[in-house]
Structure formats: C-alpha cells, structure tokens
C-alpha cells in the first residue's frame, strides 16, 4: 500500500480525525499532497472523550475545510474498556497477537462507513485513516487486509461505485513504526502537544503513562530520539 499519493491541488478528501498523533500525521501527509480536508470526529461513548478537544485543535492546525463531530453510542451496544464496561489495562506487556479489552467491536468499520457516506455526498473519492499495523495494540481493524476489504466494499455499495467511480481508503501510516510516524510529523512541522493519546487520563486530562496507548506513544518518542511535548 502506498504511503504518499499524487493528486491535483484542492481535491477533496475525508479525514477520520481522533485527536491522536496518528490521525494528525495522516492528515498532514494528505494536506502535503494537496488535498482539501474534511475532518470527521466521532464520539462513540469512549471514556477518554477529552480527545475530542484535541481533535478540534488538530483540525484547526491542519486548516481543514470543515470539521464535523458526530455522536454514535456504541457504548450502549458493545463491551469494551474504552466504553467503560471493563477496566482499562495498565502496565501490560504489549502483544500484537492478543486482542486486548480496549478493542471496540466494529469501531473502524462504523467510522469508515460514516466517512464513506460523507465522501460520496461531497464528491470526494479519498478517505484518510491513521491506522497502523506495526506499532498497534492487536486490533484486527487496523490491518492492511481490513483496509483493502473496505475499499472493495466502497466500490460495491455506493452509487458512485455502481457508476464506475472508485473510492480510495488511504492509510499512509499503515506500515510505519510509531517512531517513524513521529519523525515524519516533526519533519512536517507538527505540534504534537496538541494531541491526546491516553485511554485513561486524569481529571485534568493528563496522560496516565501506563495504558497501552501511553506505552506505545512513549516508546515511539524514545525510539525517535524526541521528547514528547506532553511531558513538558
């Protein structure tokens, strides 16, 4: 899967924007390629909903054409640590072969489906998502096979696809390590102090430093040889 994509200036693209460093970097890469970005942020009942504030700051920094926030109550349907029905694991040894309790059933499927609906209405053929298959927590919906399968679904299940058009689900970070993602973002001038990664922040929004996401972020900054701006 390609990391960079050539395009004409001002081509519209929908960006799934969580407020984390991955979606921020994916958006910056899309902007660098000349895409006009339409950012979509979903509140799905996650306990770390302060990432929504980070998404607003990131959207502003990326100068998106429009930022839409939607609420989809997955918490009423599924059990996950991220929706409050289980304890968020701390200090665990990360194992990409184990699906952790922080997995939210069908989350990326739902997000991509909503992004697809908006893209078709906008006349956009590209959707950017910041999933990563190397430094991730074992989520099956972050794998290249899933992205490729959803792209085929988009071609089959839309009016644009039936008319011969095509949608590209672009995951420019999918084969990058967290350290490589951070180096890429720094080279693009990104301000990672705007982002939020922690699954279980304190009341002030400060990261716990112990959840899977905090561990992955810390390892990425350490391996990149760069200090995390959230640590002061």
pTM for this prediction: 0.93
For residue 1, what pLDDT is reported? 25
Residue 5 in domain: no
Number of structural domains found in the chain:
1
For residue 136, what pLDDT is reported? 63
Task: List the chain pLDDT tens, one digit each, 232 residues.
Answer: 233 334 444 599 999 999 999 999 999 999 999 999 999 999 998 987 788 999 999 999 999 999 999 999 999 999 999 999 899 999 998 887 888 999 999 999 999 999 999 999 999 999 999 999 876 668 999 999 999 999 999 999 999 999 998 899 999 999 999 999 999 999 999 999 999 999 999 888 899 999 999 999 999 999 999 999 998 6
For residue 170, what pLDDT is reported? 98
**List of residues 6+ apart from 96 with CB closer than 8 A:** 136, 137, 138
Residue 216 in domain: yes
For residue 4, what pLDDT is reported? 36
By residue range, what is the domain housing residue 175? 11-226
Residue 150 in domain: yes
For residue 110, what pLDDT is reported? 97
Instruction: Compute φ and ψ for 32, nearest 5 degrees.
Output: -60, -30
Count CB neighbours of 90 within 10 A.
14
CATH of the domain at 213: 3.40.50.620
Residue 232 in domain: no
Residue 6 in domain: no
For residue 10, what pLDDT is reported? 52
Residue 231 in domain: no
């Amino acid at each position: 899967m390609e990391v960079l994509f050539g395009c004409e200036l001002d081509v519209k693209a929908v960006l799934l924007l969580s407020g984390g460093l991955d979606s921020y970097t994916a958006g910056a890469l899309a902007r660098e390629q000349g895409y006009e970005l339409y950012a979509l942020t979903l509140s799905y009942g996650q306990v770390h909903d302060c990432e929504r504030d980070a998404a607003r700051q990131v959207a502003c920094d990326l100068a998106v054409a429009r930022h839409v926030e939607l609420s989809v109550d997955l918490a009423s349907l599924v059990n996950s640590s991220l929706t409050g029905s289980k304890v968020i694991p701390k200090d665990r040894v990360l194992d990409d072969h184990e699906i952790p309790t922080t997995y939210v059933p069908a989350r990326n499927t739902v997000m991509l489906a909503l992004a697809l609906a908006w893209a078709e209405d906008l006349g956009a053929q590209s959707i950017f998502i910041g999933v990563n298959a190397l430094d991730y927590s074992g989520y099956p919906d972050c794998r290249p096979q899933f992205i490729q399968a959803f792209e085929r679904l988009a071609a089959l299940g839309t009016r644009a696809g039936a008319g011969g058009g095509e949608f590209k689900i672009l995951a420019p970070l999918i084969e990058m390590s967290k350290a490589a993602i951070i180096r890429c973002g720094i080279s693009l001038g990104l301000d990672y102090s705007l982002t939020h990664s922690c699954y279980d922040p304190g009341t002030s929004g400060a990261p716990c430093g112990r959840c899977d996401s905090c561990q992955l972020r810390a390892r990425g900054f350490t391996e990149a040889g760069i200090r995390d701006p959230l640590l002061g």
